[in-house]
Structure 1
């Protein structure tokens, strides 16, 4: 017997008018190019190339770097050669190419990287703190964590899913393609009962694209997730059969899950999944236990919404948190630490914006090139934020040095464009 109750729950209408849904932040950024050129000028800088460039090994064995806007020789040397002082080596090795472009690393240049003393010519990173290091992987190739007596989490390769065993069947939460073998195997280790329900946390393919493997089950999702799955036309992500807008209570075989939507966050439609009896919660791609946020906040639809989701999770009475990624499950302390970090990054970025006058940067570029002027301004803001966050957080969370600059740029744009008054 399956009893499902929710606020505004309805069977999914495959012919519903998706144009009625509120636009996501990414959608606003796309549509703004036609509707508001000034806004487009701002949003164009939300994903700077500077943070996405990487050193690459050529077929001949030598490493090279493809320059992007905002690069300097000192910056490249600092990121990839271990010291800004090695900029002269970089210049000497690429003198002909650089001199042909005024001696500066114009965007798109292919620069050879001199070997480091240890023979490496790639970017170095801070060591991971103990709380971020991978846990041992059992012979099965995945970790199976039992939460209470009926709730389980499966982790492999930095990705997680969960399932709830009931008297009448199994409820699966997410179906990552990277767990295509591990998740069914883990379920078989625990029970011979069939999967009867599948809950989509949100629509992103890295968490849901193997949903079709579970066959004809009851699939539950937020209405926004259903619309995005429909738009994806991905056979691996079958349409939900039940959708909701605010909250949904799922009672199956004596077990209960409470599904709720706090508003746009990592993704429009990304929901909170609460197992109250097991004192556990799952909210994917919001808190990464032991880690700083991923690049560009995981392409968050709403940076303010991610902060608000942290606030919500911090109020919950729970022992275990499942974040959908990294090597382990989280605790209430992990939620509080992540909340402290994202709040700190938001606050320090706000301080940097207040301390940085935008006007002079437009005088450094060709008249009318607002993109360039605004990029210089954002980079100056990030220059203030990055060292402060590194100083306060390196050693407390993993990968603070990896994406902080890009995340500061993303937060700066959110301060300016979203301008929330409650944070």
Structure 2
């Protein structure tokens, strides 16, 4: 269903003032005023998303998707001020410009999804730009502790600890702390605004593309698979992802099916490979390269049959890493 999406998106740059349709999605130029309907995404190529100053798409009455250099954040405009979820490294000044294109209300609060500096590293830049107006910085205890234990000094420290949820100027924001395949501290946020449910879930799904290397360098591939299943089962309408485009359940389903196909291909490869045939040397690791490569090569070839056509360069860059990280997670657990 989604095989041809990348090719179709690539043509959108030729008609950015028109509406395009692909695989059940609608692609339109971003708007700070028009609320995106269900299934509506932002027109443009991945390359354009890297090079534009910023893009803003309104998702509900008070919530906005903002993209800078292919990093996506959530902006919530409150009664008096603005809350920003994530502050990716290298985006701070442009994020302030993007917020100014939405509202003249001041930015007073930041929220961290997880302790990776590429997603929260410019909080200090924003604080310096705001001068003496000290920001509230929200994060879970896990995020706070990860910043400390990993000695991540670039972001501002967390000064407001959140648990199951918190309130910003009357708006309740629910938190989910069990999506821990990418990192142990990864946190998702759900905002229900005038009947629309927006989830901010980072580095789990990248709409309109295959996933990044090793599924965004997951710390636990099986937990990541469970995260995708959890995302499918949660009640939400539209998703702000860490990168690429606006996300919907169909994007999550694509990743869910892709992971299932990886596991199926690995199982088939394990059934065909002979562990004993690869003990050919005196090294205790003599089996390692031969056996694992036989299984991974077989699984990769099976995946190519379904997923490579139309996205050859993309597949050849990342697909082996997907198979490898899932293989070792399955191997360690005898799955």
Taking structure 1 as the reference length, what is the TM-score of the superposition? Answer: 0.63
Report Cα offsets for 1:212-258 as digits up to 9, x if no partner.
Answer: 234332222232221221134344212212334xx422211232211
Aligned partner of 2:191 in structure 1 is 275
- What are the ranges of 5 or more consecutive residues in structure 1 without an aligned counterpart? 1-125
Q: Distance in 2 between matches of 1:396 and 1:273?
A: 34
Change (3 A) 1:226 1:419: farther
**Would the alpha carbon gap of residues 178 and 129 (structure 1) be closer, same or farther in structure 2, given more than 3 Å must change?**
farther
Q: Counterparts of 2:8 and 2:217 in 1: how far apart (Å)? A: 27
Question: What RMSD in Å do the two structures reach over aligned CA positions?
Answer: 2.5
SS in 2 for 1:141: coil
Name the CA distance, whole Å, in 2 between partners of 1:387 and 1:333: 25
User: Residue deviations 1:46-78, cap 9 Å, x none?
Assistant: xxxxxxxxxxxxxxxxxxxxxxxxxxxxxxxxx
> Contact 1:201–1:270 at 8 Å: present in 2 too?
yes
Q: Distance in 2 between matches of 1:384 and 1:159?
A: 34
SS of equivalent residue, structure 2 residue 292: helix
Task: Check if 1:393 corresponds to 2:307.
Answer: yes
2:172 aligned residue (251, 256, 259): 256
Question: By how many angstroms is 1:376 displaced?
Answer: 1.8
Of the structure 1 ranges 130-139 and 305-314, higher mean CA displacement relative to structure 2 is found in 130-139
After superposition, the Cα gap between the structure-2 partners of 1:219 and 1:337, relative to the gap in structure 1 and judged at 3 Å, is same
3-state SS of 1:324 partner:
coil
Alpha-carbon offset, residue 384 of structure 1:
0.7
Structure 2 CA distance for aligned equivalents of residues 388 and 178 of structure 1? 39
The answer for the alignment partner of 1:203 in structure 2 is 115
Contact 2:147 2:153 survives alignment (8 Å): no
Match status 1:352 vs 2:269:
yes
Query: Residue 141 of structure 2 contacts residue 161 of structure 2 at CA under 8 Å; is this kept in 1?
Result: yes
Q: TM-score, normalised by structure 2?
A: 0.79
Deviation digits for residues 82-125 of structure 1 (CA, Å, limit 9, x no counterpart): xxxxxxxxxxxxxxxxxxxxxxxxxxxxxxxxxxxxxxxxxxxx
Higher relative contact order (CA 8 A, sep 6+): 1
Q: 1:129 to 1:362 in 2, by over 3 A?
A: farther
Q: CA deviation at 1:128?
A: 4.0
Measured in 2, the distance between the counterparts of 1:387 and 1:235 equals: 43
Matched, 1:134 2:73: no
Cα distance change of structure 1 residues 395 and 149 upon mapping to structure 2, 3 Å threshold: farther
Q: Give the count of matched residue pairs.
A: 289
**Aligned CA distance change for structure 1 residues 285 and 396 (closer, same or farther; 3 Å):** farther
Q: Is the 8 A contact 2:52 2:68 kept in 1?
A: no
Counterpart CA distance in 2 for 1:397 and 1:389 is 12
Identify unmatched segments of 5+ residues in structure 2. Answer: 11-43, 128-133
Match of residue 177 from structure 1 = 89
- The runs of at least 4 aligned residues of structure 1 exceeding 4 Å deviation read 135-140, 395-398
Q: CA deviation at 1:355?
A: 2.9
Q: Distance in 2 between matches of 1:151 and 1:347?
A: 39
Contact 2:191 2:197 in 1 (8 A): yes
